[in-house]
Amino acid sequence: MWKYASLRPGDVLDDFDRGALDAAIVLRHDGRRRDGEVILEEGFGWMAAPDFEYRPGERLRLATQSEPCSVRSMAIAALDASAIPWTEVFVGGGVATIGAAISAGLAVAALGRRVAPPVTVDVGPRFGLPKLPTRDVMLHARLSDPQARRSLKTLCAAIRSTAR
């Protein structure tokens, strides 16, 4: 069964472990689970419109996905650890809505560089924002059908081709 969901990686992996999914592609955010195949290493940046304005000391305007998004948690933890004040000004339902908000200049978002809108730039160095860690994009699969395995191999190749 193929299913797209914007759930926490743990929720998707729980479904996979229960047999509700034949394959799962998730970001690895911790070292607890070491199985699966690394599709690619995802680099993250503080993405915004090129003319986005922010002055250190002000609250950084963030666009995020709603909890329990692990990228949101990663971004907030990095800002809090660096004592950078922030406020959520936009909460979207996926990368496309977050991309639209940052492209319009509303906020900055922690996004994978691979999925950030092409009109956006990484403003992290310019504003002294903390470096974000990379995360592995992982494939977990148990497919016995040769055609399904070929299809999944093609999907993984397509994902790899999006790496910048």
CATH of the domain at 111: 3.40.190.10
Secondary element (H or E) of residue 110: strand 109-112
Q: What's the mean per-residue pLDDT of the chain?
A: 86
Q: State the CB neighbour count (10 A cutoff) for residue 111.
A: 25
- Assess whether 57 and 119 both reside in one domain: yes
pLDDT of residue 146 exceeding 70, the answer is yes
Within-domain flag for 117? yes
d(CA 75, CA 64): 9
Of 100, 83, 82, nearest to 91 by C-alpha is 100
Of 89, 103, 87, nearest to 47 by C-alpha is 103
Distances (CA, A) of 115 to 22, 42, 159: 25, 10, 10
- Assess whether 157 and 116 both reside in one domain: no
Q: How confident is the model at residue 164 (pLDDT cuts 50, 70, 90)?
A: low
- Assess whether 37 and 104 both reside in one domain: no
The pLDDT tens digits for 47-77 are 999 999 998 889 999 999 888 788 898 999 9
d(CA 153, CA 157): 6
Residue 15 has what pLDDT? Answer: 83
In this predicted model, which residue has the larger pLDDT, 40 or 105?
105
State the residue range of the domain holding 115: 44-127
Q: What is the mean pLDDT of residues 20-42?
A: 81
Q: Say if residues 130 and 75 touch (Cβ distance below 8 Å).
A: no
- Assess whether 58 and 119 both reside in one domain: yes
